[in-house]
Amino acid sequence: TTMLKTVKELFVNIDAKVIAQHILKMDCKVARILEVSEETRRIMGVKSGLELITLPYGHQLRLDLIERHTTMAIGIAVDILGCTGNLEERVATLNRIIQVAVELKDSMGDLYAFSAIMKALEMPQIVRLEQTWTSLRHCYTQTAIMYEKQLKPFSKLLHEGKEIICVSQNIVTVPLLMPLVTLLERQMVVFEGMDVWENTDQSCDIMLKHLATARLIAQNAE
């Protein structure tokens, strides 16, 4: 559609850092980290959404965060798959998306949005675009190297509950969040469609690490 094409053109033409800043701002609003009124704080009973998500009555905020994360990942995948004009357009879009992921990780410290982008890039529909990935390595070699050698290993460590090891907590603005909120919103044991961190022999250990991280998030919430 014309609208989708316009969005893609804007995405490719706007600086990656500017896009990352906008995403961070919206994440902070949705997670109730910034621009929280006194009335909202009074209703929440705590100062920050980062503390609210760990509490039983933080149900709606957890659902909002899950919805935003899922919508962001699907939207990014659609941006890439919707590039039907030519290969160059799709490769340029993929390049910019990876650049935004780098900015979210390194400049913004928004691990929540970073994980949404990585979720999109690791979807089977995106992974099997072999021509696109090959062209990325040829046309944007540094971006391809950054994705394979830095972003993917970093994402793996995050979902293994090792963010305290791999990233300084001083630069984190929005933590990973998703393992915690999905765990707290689980209504039953699920064996299909499990999260990445559940598909290992160390799943219990990883879950405990995510819960320990949640405790730190709540303690440090301001």
* pTM for the structure as a whole: 0.84
Q: What contacts 55, CB < 8 A, 6 or more positions away?
A: 46
Q: What is the DSSP letter of 168?
A: -
How many independent structural domains does the chain possess?
1
Residues 193, 117, 87: CA angle, nearest 5 degrees = 105
The CATH number of residue 38's host domain is 1.10.840.10
Q: 3-class secondary structure for 89-107?
A: HHHHHHHHHHHHHHHHHHH
Q: What is the DSSP letter of 61?
A: H
pLDDT at 102 over 70: yes
pLDDT band at 48 (very low <50, low <70, confident <90, very high): confident
Calpha distance 92→69 (Å, rounded): 23
Q: Which tokens sit at 125?
A: 């529909």
Average pLDDT over residues 47-60: 88
pLDDT at 112 over 90: yes
Calpha distance 152→54 (Å, rounded): 28
| Sign, CA torsion 88/9/152/126 | negative
> Which residue segment(s) compose the domain that 71 sits in?
1-220
pLDDT band at 166 (very low <50, low <70, confident <90, very high): low
Point out which residues pair with 120 in neighbouring strands. Answer: none
